Chain A
Amino acid sequence: MSGPVHAIAADVRSGRRSAAEVLEEHLGRIAEREGSVHAFNLVTADAARQRAEQLDRAVAAGGDPGPLAGVPVALKDLICTRGVPTTCSSRILEGWVPPYDATVVSRLAGAGAVFVGKANMDEFAMGSSTEHSAFGPTRNPHDLARVPGGSSGGSAAAVAAGFAAASLGSDTGGSIRQPAALCGVVGVKPTYGLVSRYGLVAFASSLDQIGPFATTVADAALVLDAIAGHDPRDSTSLPDERAAAGSRLGRGAQGLRVGVIAELAGAEGISADVAARVNEAAEALAAAGAKVEEVSVPSVVYGLSAYYMIAPAEASSNLARYDGVRYGLRKPGADITDMYVATRSAGFGPEVKRRIMLGTYALSAGYYDAYYGKAQKVRTLIIRDFEAAYRSYDVLLSPTSPTTAFELGAKTSDPLTMYLNDVCTIPSNLAGHPAASVPFGTGDDGLPVGVQVLAPALGEPVMFQVAEVLEAAAPSSGGAA
Chain B
Amino acid sequence: MVNTNVTLCGLELANPVIPASGTFGYGLEFAKLYDINCLGSFSCKGTTLEPRFGNPTPRIAEGNAGMLNSVGLQNPGVDAVIAEEFPKLAQVFRKPILANVCGFSVEEYVAVARKFDACDQVGWLELNISCPNVHGGGMGFGTSCDSAAEVTAAVKAVTKKPLIVKLTPNVTDIVSIAKACEEAGADAISLINTVLAMRIDLKTRKPVLRNITGGLSGPAVFPLALRMVWQVYEAVQIPILGLGGVSTSEDVIEMMLSGATAVGVGAANLRDPFACKRIIEQLPAVMERYGITDLKSIIGGAHHG
A and B: real partners? no
